[in-house]
Chains A and B, each alone.
Chain A
Amino acid sequence: MSTTTLNEIPALGKLYAGAVGSAAKSRLSSAKGPSVLPADRHEVRGAVVDLAKLTDFQRLVLHSATDYLPTGYVHTFAFPVAMSLMAREDFPLPLLGMVHLRNQVQHFRPIHYTEPLTVTAWAENLAGHRSGTQVELVAEVSAAESGDVVWSGRSTYLAKGVFLPRFDRQEARADRPDFVPPQPTAMWRLGADAGRNYAGVSGDFNPIHLSRLSAKALGMKRSLAHGMYLASRVVADTVQNREEPYEWNIDFESPVFLPATVSLSIQDAEEDGRYAGSTFVGWNNRSRRRHFHGSVQPLSAAGAVRSA
């Protein structure tokens, strides 16, 4: 597998602008390219976090402004490298309009904000989905000096309505059992500006998050909260021991249209009297629809010993 080294973390704005261009182009040519993922990896070496941006992010997701990176922030930091892959001409799915389905993250050790980091991203597991085609983007963050992997994230995206010839259309899932909301442990009141605020700290200015007008232009009834805002905030609340390796995952179900009140429940589990992880679920109490659910767990000792 070849590796393309980028000089710096790409700016998301430029990638989106490029995506608008290529979307227009593909509409003209009506073909996006081959049904295979680029075999190339994109890499940025020795990137360093901007402290002011980090602090703004920490404040927004109600994480204490410590000298260590919230796990959600590492995603935000590494995500543009993965996105630069998706913005390539030879990427088989259109970048714009991708739906974020899932995140699975392993956080191996606390990451100090001054540490130079190497971000490597690649795409894998192109697969059919009942309403389109899904793909997984992996971003791995390692300490530039030692090469040890400190954080690894796998994000699953869905290109809605895009069916590639090589992949069978998946059958519709059997109906989910009705969601019965548990007792909430928290309630988030998100203003109409929640998307703009998160765009400001993450650089993710996807128009569907910015305003009602810009969201409508892309076919949404209202603007919606960033999945990674919800994930970063709930995981910041849920993680108990940031010193030890842990993993977390989140599945996004229905979008959070802004402004919104999100009911949340966090539950801890114990095994043999010891903390064994937490589960969380967020929902809309009016519609009783689930927005997201996931879990946080300490990583087993075996899983924690891992280097590049």
Chain B
Amino acid sequence: MAVQPKAEPAATGGNTSAPGVRKAVVIGGNRIPFARSGGKYTYSSNQDMLTAALDGLVARFGLQGERIGEVAAGAVLKHSRDFNLTREAVLGSALSPETPAYDVQQACATGLETVVSLANKIKLGQLDSAIAGGVDSASDAPIAVSEGLRRALLDLSRARTTKQKLAAVAKIRPRDLSPNAPTTGEPRTGLSMGEHQALTTAQWKITREAQDELAYNSHRNMAAAYDRGFFDDLLTPYRGLSRDANLRPDTSMEKLAKLKPAFGKSLGDEATMTAGNSTPLTDGASVVLLGSEDYARDHDLPMLANIVDAEAGAVDFVHGKDGLLMAPAFAVPRLLARHNLSFDDFDFFEIHEAFAGTVLSTLAAWEDDEFCRTRLGLEGPLGSIDRSKLNVNGSSLAAGHPFAATGGRIVASLAKMLHEKGSGRGLISICAAGGQGLVAILEAR
């Protein structure tokens, strides 16, 4: 039997894409400004915000009435009635009602996962165009009835005789009447995300000052990006907001230093995490338009960056082996190895600032000889990241973090940065609840 020759690498060659697969490009993005929970979007639902972000994208790229190959988006805090959240948003948008859609949920990695999975479908030729996205509202969060009340109500709905109905109602206890609001607590540990990060922050000996400095830079960088109009073609104003409400252009190290610790107070270590160096609960939505090269050319649309590859990771935080938000520390070296790249090969690093401590713990892990040898299986430290390439237009500490919307914000911004530079690569790293992480490489066009 004859051995088939391997397919030629894609035209622009190198290590950019798997052989025989076409490219998926970022055409552009759009988001609504992010609002602090309880702010301007208090009475906007996930569907409202996702529709607003979609309509802004449609207007920017002239997609009115267009049938897009597929739209994928999701929300972390999701009402059970929103089982078809994305499809409903599409139906409410100016896109063709014949545009199919599906929902994705991977905690804070949701937005990036929609980009990755749709890009893969484009690469395989299943789709020519796609819209990836995410939305979250901490203001309009679902509230569930207690387990006791829920079971009793379900039993009641199944009851046929009066006796059975009375028996179901009789099971309701006064304490069952208080509702369950969603929390950022991990179901298996009972610790909130902030408490988990406080443990990791202490483990890696990240100082309060270093965290405040990262937060300060995030605000300063994002304010500067707004001032030079960087976000003009990435945002559509909504409900009276035209900038992220969390952004504090006038913050200073002194102001940040005055804030009291918010997490880790009960954990026995010195608490260093404050409301200033942690992301607040946020409302918002973001979407990214993806396509094949042919689709972009045929529709006379820009090509900002290629989605090169991605890698997911997860850690065993339940048994304390690693910190809850440390999965990217493992996923990044695997992704770099697959492409034979090092940190020196990147021009931009977008490390999601769930907490300043998360970014700094991840950087510390990559610089730590023992961690890299024993846990990553490397011969020495993975390396240091040039801080002047890190989150250069600000990140979640400044913008806020509507969980599922963060991936779309980062992908659209990074694609634009790469296109402006005209060459180079960018690395995205996003940590997620459940000890997960998703990382990806983009390259400029």
Residues from chain B with Cβ under 8 Å of A268 in the complex: 316, 319, 321
B168 to chain A: closest CB distance in Å?
15
State whether A183 touches B199 (Cβ < 8 A): yes
Complex-state Cα separation, A38 to B319, whole angstroms? 42
- CB contacts under 8 Å to A, within B155-210, are 175, 187-191, 195, 199, 202-203
B318 at interface by CB-CB < 8 Å: yes
- CB contacts under 8 Å to B, within A174-199, are 181, 183-189, 193
A169 to chain B: closest CB distance in Å?
38
Residues from chain A with Cβ under 8 Å of B269 in the complex: 183
Once A193-B175, A268-B319, A268-B321 are accepted as A-B contacts, the answer to whether A186 and B190 lie under 8 Å apart by CB is yes
Which residue of B147, B187, B191, B321 is within 8 Å of A184 (Cβ)?
B191
Using an 8 Å CB-CB cutoff, how does the interface string of A222-252 with B read, 1 for contact, 0 for none? 0000000000000001100000000000000
State whether A267 touches B189 (Cβ < 8 A): no
State whether A265 touches B320 (Cβ < 8 A): yes
Complex-state Cα separation, A204 to B238, whole angstroms? 58
State whether A185 touches B267 (Cβ < 8 A): no
B4 at interface by CB-CB < 8 Å: no
Which residue of B188, B199, B268, B319 is within 8 Å of A62 (Cβ)?
B188
Complex-state Cα separation, A265 to B267, whole angstroms? 12
Complex-state Cα separation, A214 to B318, whole angstroms? 35
Once A185-B189, A186-B189, A187-B195 are accepted as A-B contacts, the answer to whether A285 and B266 lie under 8 Å apart by CB is yes
Using an 8 Å CB-CB cutoff, how does the interface string of B317-335 with A read, 1 for contact, 0 for none? 1111100000000000000
Once A193-B175, A237-B188, A285-B267 are accepted as A-B contacts, the answer to whether A184 and B199 lie under 8 Å apart by CB is yes
A278 at interface by CB-CB < 8 Å: yes
Complex-state Cα separation, A37 to B284, whole angstroms? 69
A266 at interface by CB-CB < 8 Å: yes
State whether A186 touches B175 (Cβ < 8 A): no
- CB contacts under 8 Å to B, within A263-308, are 265-268, 278, 285
State whether A267 touches B267 (Cβ < 8 A): no
Which residue of B190, B202, B267, B318 is within 8 Å of A189 (Cβ)?
B190
Residues from chain A with Cβ under 8 Å of B267 in the complex: 183-184, 285
State whether A278 touches B175 (Cβ < 8 A): no
Residues from chain B with Cβ under 8 Å of A188 in the complex: 190
**Size band of the B side of the interface?**
20 to 34
Complex-state Cα separation, A238 to B189, whole angstroms? 12
Using an 8 Å CB-CB cutoff, how does the interface string of B291-327 with A read, 1 for contact, 0 for none? 0000000000000000000000000111111000000
Residues from chain B with Cβ under 8 Å of A186 in the complex: 188-191, 318
Complex-state Cα separation, A126 to B199, whole angstroms? 44
Complex-state Cα separation, A184 to B317, whole angstroms? 11
B193 to chain A: closest CB distance in Å?
13
Complex-state Cα separation, A278 to B199, whole angstroms? 20
Complex-state Cα separation, A265 to B189, whole angstroms? 10
State whether A267 touches B190 (Cβ < 8 A): no
Using an 8 Å CB-CB cutoff, how does the interface string of A34-68 with B read, 1 for contact, 0 for none? 00000000000000000000000001001000000
Complex-state Cα separation, A238 to B195, whole angstroms? 21
State whether A266 touches B319 (Cβ < 8 A): yes
Which chain B residue lies CB-closest to A286? B266
Residues from chain B with Cβ under 8 Å of A261 in the complex: 266
Most chain A CB within a 10 A radius of its CB, from B187, B199, B318: B318
Which chain A residue lies CB-closest to B202? A183
Most chain A CB within a 10 A radius of its CB, from B147, B317, B319: B319
A108 to chain B: closest CB distance in Å?
23
Which residue of A62, A183, A189, A285 is within 8 Å of B320 (Cβ)?
A183
- CB contacts under 8 Å to A, within B251-269, are 266-269
Using an 8 Å CB-CB cutoff, how does the interface string of A62-99 with B read, 1 for contact, 0 for none? 10000000000000000000000000000000000000
Once A183-B199, A285-B268 are accepted as A-B contacts, the answer to whether A266 and B318 lie under 8 Å apart by CB is yes
Residues from chain B with Cβ under 8 Å of A266 in the complex: 318-320
State whether B318 touches A185 (Cβ < 8 A): yes
State whether B188 touches A267 (Cβ < 8 A): no
- CB contacts under 8 Å to A, within B131-154, are 147
Residues from chain B with Cβ under 8 Å of A183 in the complex: 199, 202-203, 267, 269, 320
B397 to chain A: closest CB distance in Å?
25
Which chain A residue lies CB-closest to B192? A187
B170 to chain A: closest CB distance in Å?
15
Residues from chain A with Cβ under 8 Å of B189 in the complex: 185-187
B191 to chain A: closest CB distance in Å?
5
State whether A278 touches B266 (Cβ < 8 A): no
Using an 8 Å CB-CB cutoff, how does the interface string of B242-281 with A read, 1 for contact, 0 for none? 0000000000000000000000001111000000000000
Residues from chain B with Cβ under 8 Å of A184 in the complex: 191, 199, 267-268
Complex-state Cα separation, A291 to B345, whole angstroms? 52
Which chain B residue lies CB-closest to A240? B319
Residues from chain A with Cβ under 8 Å of B190 in the complex: 186-189
B40 to chain A: closest CB distance in Å?
34
Most chain B CB within a 10 A radius of its CB, from A181, A186, A266, A267: A186
Most chain A CB within a 10 A radius of its CB, from B203, B267, B268, B320: B320
A288 to chain B: closest CB distance in Å?
9
Complex-state Cα separation, A278 to B267, whole angstroms? 22
Residues from chain A with Cβ under 8 Å of B202 in the complex: 183
Once A62-B188, A237-B188 are accepted as A-B contacts, the answer to whether A185 and B317 lie under 8 Å apart by CB is yes
A259 to chain B: closest CB distance in Å?
13
State whether A237 touches B318 (Cβ < 8 A): yes
B229 to chain A: closest CB distance in Å?
46
Residues from chain A with Cβ under 8 Å of B320 in the complex: 183, 185, 265-267
Complex-state Cα separation, A268 to B316, whole angstroms? 10
A binding-site residues for B, Cβ under 8 Å? 59, 62, 181, 183-189, 193, 237-238, 261, 265-268, 278, 285
New contact pairs (7) apart from A186-B191, A187-B189, A187-B190, CB-CB < 8 Å: A183-B199, A184-B267, A189-B190, A237-B318, A268-B319, A285-B266, A285-B267
A-B contact pairs, 24 of them (CB 8 A): A62-B187, A62-B188, A181-B268, A183-B199, A183-B269, A184-B267, A184-B268, A185-B189, A185-B317, A185-B318, A185-B320, A186-B189, A186-B190, A187-B189, A187-B191, A187-B266, A189-B190, A237-B188, A237-B318, A261-B266, A266-B319, A268-B316, A285-B266, A285-B267
What are the 3 A-B residue pairs with the smallest beta carbon separation, nearest first?
Answer: A185-B320, A186-B189, A266-B319
